[in-house]
Amino acid sequence: MISRKVYIYNTLSRRKEEFIPVHPGMVGLYVCGPTVYGEPHLGHARPAVTYDVLVRFFRYLGYKVRYVRNITDVGHLEHDADEGDDKIAKKARLESLEPMEVVQTYTIAYHDAMRRLNTLPPSIEPRASGHIIEQIELIKRILDAGFAYESNGSVYFDVPAYNKKYRYGILSGRNIDDMMANTRSLDGTGDKRSPYDFALWKKASPQHIMKWPSPWSEGFPGWHLECSAMSEKYLGEEFDIHGGGMDLQFPHHECELAQNTASRGQGGVKYWMHNNLLTVNGQKMGKSLGNFTTLADLYKVYSPMTIRFFILQAHYRGTLDFSSEALSAAEKGLKRVLQAAKDSKTLSHSGSGANPEIEKLTESVMDALCDDLNTPVALARIFDAVKFVNQAKDGSLRLSDKDFETLAELFDRIVPDVLGLVDEVQASSEEKTVEGLMDMILEVRREAKSRKDFATSDKIRDRLNSLGITIKDTKEGTEWSI
Ligand code: ZN
C-alpha cells in the first residue's frame, strides 16, 4: 500500500490538492511532447526533466505509472491552431525532404538529447499522424453533440455554443463573456463564425502535402485535437494528470479541455500541471530573440547532467533563468553531491546509535517531494547530507551503521533513481566507437601537421567533411561535430 500523501498544484482549481488517483495504485500521465521540426533546444529540457522526476517519484512510492508523451508531426501551424504553414511541411519544403523525413530526423535528435538528460522514455509515445482515424471519430462526436460546425470543408469548434452550456476559459482563467463584450465585431474570420472558434479539421489547399480523406474534405486535423484523441485512447475517458509547459495553457490545453467536455460531458483530467518557462539572461526564450540554444550546442559546454541539476534547483512552477554563472554554480553543486555519494561508500562505520539529524533527512526529502514536487528543498536537504559525509571524511563526525543506511537511501536511491542525477549517462557503444575512431584520426592528423605534412592533414579534413564531420582547430585542440 502507498501510505504517503502527495500534493499537486492543480492549474484548474488554482490550489494544491491531495493526489487521489482514478485507479488506486496507478497513475495515468499525459504530457504534451514536442513538435518535431527542428533541433531540440533548451526549452525542451525543462518539461522533460520535470515530468521525468514526477514519474520517477510516483514509481519510487510504489505507483504503477503509464506515462504517455506524444510526438506532434502534423497540424501544428505557425500561428497556433488555425493559420499559417504547417511547421513540419514548411521545413520539408525548405530542405527538399519528405515531411516524414523531417519528423524522423528530429524525433531521433529529440530522443538522443532527452536520453542524455537521463529522462526515462515514456510508456507510450503516440504520433498525431498515426491517429487520424481517432481524431476524425472525435470530430464526429463533437459535431453530433452540437458543439462544432462544418464550413467549406473545414470543421470548427463552436466556442460561443459551448460556452452557453459549459464555461470556456476555466483552465487559463479567461472569461469569454468579457472577451466577447470587449470585441467590436463578433463576425467570424474566413470560414469561422466567431473569432474564438478553432479548427478541428482544416481543408487542405492543393499544394498542402500532409492530408488525409475525411467526411468533410481532404485535409488535416487541428493541432489541439490530437492530445484529446490520444489521451483518451491510451488513458481512458478520465485520467489523472495532464502536464505541459505554461505556454500550452492557452489555447492548446483550454481547447483540449473544451473538446473533451464537448465529446464526453467531462473534462477528463483530474490534475492539470504546468511547468514555468525558462528565461535566458532574463529574457523569454525564443528564436526571435536570438537566444535559441540547441541542446547539442549546450552539451559541448555543460554536461547534460549539469543542465538537469540546474533545472531541479528551481521549483517547476517558478521562473528559472539560464546564465553561464548559474550553470557553473550548478556544475559545482552537482559535483559535490556526486563526490559525497562516492565518499559515503568508503567511510568507516565507527559511530553507534543513530544521529537524529541524519535520520530525519530522508523524511524531509520525501516531504519536500510530496509537496508539489519541491525539488529545490529536496536538494537543500541532500546538501545537508553532503555536509555530514564531509564531516565524517575529515574526522569531525562518526557515522554508525544506521546513519549509513539513511545515507545509502539518499545517495543510492533518491539521488539517482528519483532525481535522476548520475555521473553521466552512458554513451551507446556506437557513440563510444565513433569517439575512439575520431580520437585516433585526429591524432594521426596532428602528427602529420607537426611534421609539416599538410597534404595529409588537409586530406583527412576533407575526407571527414565529405562524411559530414566538420572539424575546427582551436587553442585547446581540435573540435569535431557531425
Ligand atoms: Zn498537447
Q: What is the per-residue pLDDT across 314-343, written as a single tens digit (0 to 9) for each?
A: 999 999 999 889 999 999 999 999 999 999
What are the CA-CA distances from residue 204 to residues 84, 143, 153, 211, 289 (Å)?
12, 20, 9, 7, 32
Question: Which residue do the cell numbers 541542446 mark?
Answer: 295
Task: Cite the DSSP H helix spans in 236-355.
Answer: 254-264, 295-301, 304-312, 324-343
| Dist. CA 76 → ligand 1 center (Å) | 10
72 alpha carbon – ligand 1 mean position (Å): 8
* Average pLDDT taken over every residue of the chain: 91
Which residue, among 263, 264, 267, has the nearest Cα to 253 in the 3D structure? 267
Maximal CA-CA distance, the chain = 82
CA dist., res. 376 & res. 373, Å (int) = 9
Q: Is the pLDDT of residue 159 over 90?
A: yes
Q: Tell the residue number behind the cell numbers 492530408, with chain if given.
A: 211
Give the pLDDT confidence score for residue 187 in this predicted structure.
62
**d(CA 110, ligand 1 centre) in Å:** 17
Expressed in angstroms and rounded, the spacing between residue 223 Cα and the centre of ligand 1 is: 8
CA 98 – ligand 1 centroid, Å: 24
Residue 82 pLDDT level (bands cut at 50, 70, 90): low
pLDDT above 70: percentage of residues in the chain:
95
Cα(9)–Cα(446) distance, integer angstroms:
57
Cα of 30 to ligand 1 centre, how many Å?
Answer: 9
Instruction: Please report, for residues 102, 105, 188, the alpha-carbon distance to residue 98 in angstroms, rounded to integers and kept in the order given.
Output: 7, 11, 34
**Residue 68 alpha carbon to ligand 1 centre in Å:** 11
What count of Cα atoms within 13 Å lies in the side-chain half-sphere of residue 388?
A: 27
Q: E-strand spans in 22-106?
A: 26-31, 64-69, 77-79, 83-86
**pLDDT tens-digit series, residues 207-238:** 888 899 999 999 999 989 999 999 999 999 99
Question: For the segment 274-307, what is each residue's pLDDT rounded down to a tens digit?
Answer: 999 988 888 877 655 555 688 988 998 899 999 9
* CA 103 / ligand 1 centre spacing (Å): 17
Q: What is the pLDDT, as a whole number, of residue 370? A: 98
Sign of CA dihedral 158, 160, 166, 171: positive
The angle at the Cα of 119, spanning 115 to 121, to the nearest 5 degrees, equals 80
Tens of pLDDT, residues 22-65: 999 999 999 999 988 889 998 899 999 999 999 999 999 999 99
By residue count, the chain amounts to 482
Compute and round to an integer the Cα radius of gyration of the chain.
26
Residue found by looking up cell 496507478 in the block: 26
**pLDDT band, residue 76 (cuts 50/70/90):** confident
Using an 8 Å Cβ cutoff, are 47 and 40 in contact? no
Res. 74 pLDDT band, cuts 50 70 90: confident
Q: What is the pLDDT of residues 361-371, one digit of tens each?
A: 999 999 999 99
What residues sit around ligand 1, an ion, with C-beta below 5 angstroms?
32, 227
pLDDT for the residue numbered 428: 63
Answer yes or no: are the C-beta atoms of 354 and 402 closer than 8 Å.
yes
Residue 8 CA, ligand 1 centroid: distance in Å: 20
pLDDT tens digits for 374-409? 999 999 999 999 999 999 999 999 999 999 999 999
C-alpha separations of 182 from 120, 175, 176, 347 in Å: 46, 11, 10, 69
Distance in Å, CA 224 to ligand 1 centroid: 6
Nearest to 41 by CA among 236, 245, 242, 226: 245
Residue 83 has what pLDDT?
A: 64
* C-alpha 48 to ligand 1 mean position (Å): 14
CB-count burial class (<10 Å; 0-12, 13-18, 19+) for 419: buried
Q: What is the pLDDT of residue 290?
A: 57
Chain centroid to Cα 287, Å, comes to 18
SS3 content of the chain, % helix, strand, coil (to 5): 50, 20, 35
Q: Ligand 1: distance of its center to the CA of 293 in Å?
A: 23
Given a cut of 90, whether residue 263 has pLDDT beyond it is yes
Spacing, Cα 245 to ligand 1 middle (Å) = 10
Q: How far does the centroid of ligand 1 lie from the alpha carbon of residue 391, in Å?
A: 48
How many Å lie between the centroid of ligand 1 and the Cα of residue 253?
7
For ligand 1, the distance from its centroid to the CA atom of residue 304, given in whole angstroms, is: 25
Strand partners, 10: 15
Cα-to-centroid distance, 244 and ligand 1 (Å)? 8
List C-alpha distances in Å: 252 to 76, 127, 128, 225: 11, 17, 15, 9
Average pLDDT over residues 132-158: 97
Ligand 1 centroid to residue 241 C-alpha, Å: 13
How close is the Cα of 273 to the center of ligand 1, in Å? 12
Place of cell 478553432: 198
pLDDT at res. 477: 78
CA of 180 from ligand 1 middle (Å) equals 26
pLDDT value of position 297: 87
383 alpha carbon – ligand 1 mean position (Å): 36
